[in-house]
Amino acid sequence: MGARPRLLVVVVALYVASLVAAAENVTVGQLLPTSSYHRGAATYNAKNYGAKGNGANDDTKALMAAWKVACEASGTVTLMILPGTYYIGPTQFHGPCKASTLTFLLQGTLKAATDLKRFGNDWIEFGWVKDLTSVLFVNNQNAVARDITSVNNKFFHIALLNNNNIKLLNLRINAPSNSPNTDGIHIERSTGVVIADTRIGTGDDCISIGQGNDNIDIARVHYGPGHGMSVGSLGRYVGEGDVTRIHVKDMTFEGTMNGVWIKTWENSPTKSLAAHMVFENMVMKDVQNPIIIDQKYCPYYNCEHKYVSGVTIKDITFKNIKGTSLLPVAVLLRCGAPCQAVVLQDVDLKYKGQGGTSSKCENAKAKYIGYQYPKPCA
């Protein structure tokens, strides 16, 4: 008998957590129409296996029973948790599975049981499955996800959308350096996000902070390979929200394309703000572009650069940034309308090749404090 094919598990709108507050609800927003996810796939409805979704009956065994049937099916499989409130205690979704791809489609609300005696350390657990990928957290509050490993996914590994007070701790994310669109963690329209004690190596942005975010704290993350950490791209679409209060500290970038990168499109259809950000205590090891603000971002070959970005950048601090740059320009501040209140403090970036590093600035009102290498823009 040949080896069993590897299972790809796609978790849509899933809250994977240690038990933080027994009575907390985890609210999951309405997703795209169900048919767009499971067309052509074998589909299993948890309600056909005893789940009530009424917020009163205990659905723990029913959800695990539905998972078992879906896990044992062959081919492309979708397990649907329809809208409703599912009252559950400790729940385990375990493999190995026969399915080549299994989509866990959660459209309802999971409500934790209130009896703490039922719980050990965890509430919801996925175990003994291969290639857990594309975990999308939608409309969660007061959530904690920890100790997750994601390897060789097809697209992004983890995305946060419309979350409030969520922590991602001790994650391990890995994909080949040449794999496109494999962002490690993408954040959008969320507030109160904490990411800490994590290692990320991908073929795209390790962490990308999109539009509409506020109060994001990132600490002790090791990046590499990948494109580094980005704020943006911002300013491309109508109605984008501001990005404010970003604090990133104690980071290591190793062999990445970029270090910290703030990028905005020109000719933005809506005015917005990117402000109140601190990037401090960072080590750059052989990074191509350690510090970048680029308000003329365009990933295409033919870009005219006729317009000024509609995103206002102000109150940005880069502090205690040290290491080596693979390119001579280690600091690039390319602003459209003048960037306001940009501060560089104690920067020491050496060129890995012959000669020294340099800074390049355009419409940047920067203030320099402490040691500066490369030298500040004239």
The pair phi, psi for residue 128, each rounded to 5°, is 60, 35
CB 322 within 8 A of CB 284: yes
Report which DSSP code applies to 239.
T
- Looking at this protein, which amino acid is placed at residue 360? K
290: left (phi over 0), alpha (psi -120 to 50) or beta: alpha
- Give the whole-angstrom CA distance, residue 174 versus residue 244: 28
Which 3 state secondary structure label does DSSP give 30? coil
> What does the block give as tokens for 132?
């857990």
Token pair in block for residue 59? 């659905």
Number of H helices, E strands in the chain: 2, 28
Q: Cα–Cα distance between 112 and 117 in angstroms, integer? A: 13
Could you say which of 59, 183, 204, 205 is catalytic?
204
Q: Which tokens is 341 given?
A: 């209140």
Of 171, 173, 217, 169, the closest CA to residue 193 belongs to: 217
Q: Looking at 59, 227, 276, 294, which residue is catalytic?
A: 227
Q: Which residues of 184-198 are buried (b: 16+ CB within 10 A; e: fewer)?
A: bbbbbbbbbbbbbeb
Residue 123 DSSP class: S
- Structure tokens given for 315: 């109150």
For the question of residue 205 being annotated catalytic, the response is no
Cis peptide before 96 (omega within 30 of 0): yes
The answer to whether 340 and 356 are in contact (CB under 8 A) is no
Phi-psi label, residue 288: left if phi above 0, alpha if psi -120 to 50, beta otherwise? alpha
286 is catalytic: no
Tally of residues, the chain:
378
The structure tokens listed for 307 are: 């317009």
Catalytic residue annotation: 204, 227
